[in-house]
Amino acid sequence: MVGLFRLVSGCPGPSGFGSASTAQEVTEGIDGTNLTALVTGGASGIGLETSRVLALRGVHVIIGARNMKAANEAKNKIVRENPRARIDVLELDLCSTSSIRSFADNFIALHLPLNILINNAGIMFCPFQLSQDGLEVQFATNHIGHFLLTNLLLDTMKNTVKATGIQGRVVNLSSIAHNYCYKKGIRFHKINDKQGYSEKRAYGQSKLANILHANELSRRLQEEGVNITVNSVHPGLIMTPLFRHSAAVMKLLKFFSFFLWKNVPQGAATTCYVALHPRLNGVTGKYFADCNEMRPSSYARNESLARELWEFSNKLISSVSVP
């Protein structure tokens, strides 16, 4: 009830920020000129706002996007507003393991540091379909794509930490929808089955996977003694291109629940807060909403499920692509 009151009222939580806070407000006064960040899906919606605000704080931002025309338009828009912005774009299709590997190779070839990885891109409520790798498309894009990308770039992040002494941060965009998933959380043995498929539960499953991935990666990095934090966030309810598969239904829902919805600058706030704020130094394996730590579902806190998902994801990637 406290969380709902804060959401509706915009009342700040322990962090000093709340649902009404914007990305610019939560990063006010932070100097990111010595940082490089990669934002997947950074050409539209809250990804674009995240890229814009990080660049405003001096961060060198790399936008990974499937639509290069939109990505270049986003870059130009940011630079017009902020001529000092450092923005680069690289092609990335998270639905394709070969595209992800090519992206990682291209990024590594730039010899750039990587301080912040924001796994932002996603798709939502899609009718059943398989990716070109033969994987259910929401699970493939929202989880497997980011799981593989993170693994491919992790050595770059570790090397950056060693060279600079600056803590690295990985931020996975999840959703409150992780509560609405399949029975037992992840249907490992039916991940690509059309029978029993629910577009909403499949989305919830992928968002649950985002949290489990963050938690397990956090645990592994802590065991290694690596100074990289990994957290997951719920950005809030925002009308973005994510809703293209259910626009009419969501507009109707928004009409009756307008007090629960955020605008895009508010929707990007939690991502930017977790990615950039010094208050989060050393904080890892947590789930945030409205710029405050929240308790996710019991499935999301299940360490055995997180380890099982990690092994399952590695086997799935090995079965559909050649390293």
Which active-site residues does the annotation give?
197
29 phi and psi, to 5 degrees?
Answer: 80, 0
Asked if 273 and 280 count as a contact pair (C-beta separation under 8 A), the reply is: yes
Token look-up 């870059």 returns: 75
Asked if 35 and 89 count as a contact pair (C-beta separation under 8 A), the reply is: no
User: Please, what's the largest Cα pairwise distance for the chain?
Assistant: 52
Calculate helix-pair angle for 45-56, 269-276, nearest 10 degrees: 40
Distances (CA, A) of 162 to 106, 155, 228: 22, 10, 11
* Residue 37: exposure state from Cβ atoms within 10 A (0-12, 13-18, ≥19): buried
292-294/287-289 β-pairing: antiparallel
Cα separation, 292 vs 17, in Å, equals 7
